[in-house]
Each structure stands twice: as structure tokens, then as C-alpha cells.
Amino acid sequence: MQKLSREELFSLEQYAEQRPEFRQRVLMHKQPRRVAVGEALVLYFEDRLTIQYQIQEMLRIEKIFEANGIMEELDTYNPLIPDGNNLKVTAMLEYKEVEERKQRLSELRGLEDLVWLQVTGHKKVFSIANEDLERSNAEKTSAVHFMRFEFSPGMIADLTAGQALFAGCDHPNYPAAITELNNSNINSLLKDFG
């Protein structure tokens, strides 16, 4: 999938005009790209459109309009666009209560390295997490992680041919966390391999 360029982004003025329609389009696009794994781990599969939205929102919020600032945002977020043989994910541990979140994040250290995807008939593909910077420490894991899942040509071919795709987590403090992705999920994700 091609990375975004500065020329493809809306100016701040254009984005202000386009934002309601663009936002609605992105929200609809994101629905089949959201997968809950267990009680609190949610995988948000990123692609070119979701990343463009993220960049446009950052430019809007920070009021960035100069070339250097725009390039900085592109350099930050472009690595989250799939490269054709992988899926890229923003993973979030979503706990509503502050005290519960604090407790669970301390219990789930290392979770980011134990999240996996698996095509039927193939081995689990474990995440390559947080390549930009470490998001965990000796006390706790972060509530947000950026992950990459590398697929072999055989896995992609089998997924395209209709094999099932599962998402899971092998962390001992996060049991029974396996989800079978539905056809809507898979159809959306198959575009990331194009």
C-alpha cells in the first residue's frame, strides 16, 4: 500500500470544509477493521484511509500548516500503513475504571509481544510491537501499542481462498482471548495485501 504524500492531504481550510463527510466515511470504513479480543483488548487495523484521517486530525488540532510540520506528521504515521505483506494495528487495552486499568496494566506486562493472528492451517503470527519506541516498563504495559503482523505468501493465498482468520493473545493473565474474525473483517483486511 502506497504511503501518503503531502500533496494528498487537505489543507486546514479544505479539511474544515470536508471534515464532516470525510469523518463519516472513515468511521464507516473503520467498523469492520475493529476486532475485540477478550474483554478489553481491541485491535484497530490501520490502512491508508485511517492513517490519513489520523494525520488530518493531528494537523487540525495542532494547527500545523508549515511544510516541516506536515512532513513530521507524515513521517510519524506513514509507517502504520501496511506494506503489502503485513497487517498493522493500533492495539488498545480499554478499561473504563481508572483503578482497574492501573491494576490490569501492571498484570499484563509483555502482552504486546503475545498478541497473534492465525490463518487456518498455518502457525500463529505474533506481533512485532512498538518499533518506534518502547511502551512498557518494569511496572506496567501501556494501554496503547502499535503492532505489525507479517504474513507469508501462502498465508495470504489461503486467507484469500476463504480460510478463517483468528486473533488471540497468549498472555497468562489474559486467558481465553481468541476471536474468529468475520467475513466483513476479513474482506476489509484482504485489501491491505494489495
Cα distance between residue 16 and residue 129, in whole Å: 34
Has this prediction a pTM greater than 0.85? yes
Q: Which of 3, 42, 8 is nearest to 22 (CA)?
A: 8
Break the chain into its structural domains and give their ranges. 6-193
**Which residues on neighbouring strands pair with residue 144, listed in sequence order?**
92
- Of the candidate ranges 85-89, 132-136, 188-192, the one whose mean pLDDT is the lowest: 132-136
Are the C-beta atoms of 141 and 135 separated by less than 8 Å? yes
pLDDT band at 97 (very low <50, low <70, confident <90, very high): very high
pLDDT band at 194 (very low <50, low <70, confident <90, very high): confident
Take residue 18 and report the three cell numbers written for it. 470536508
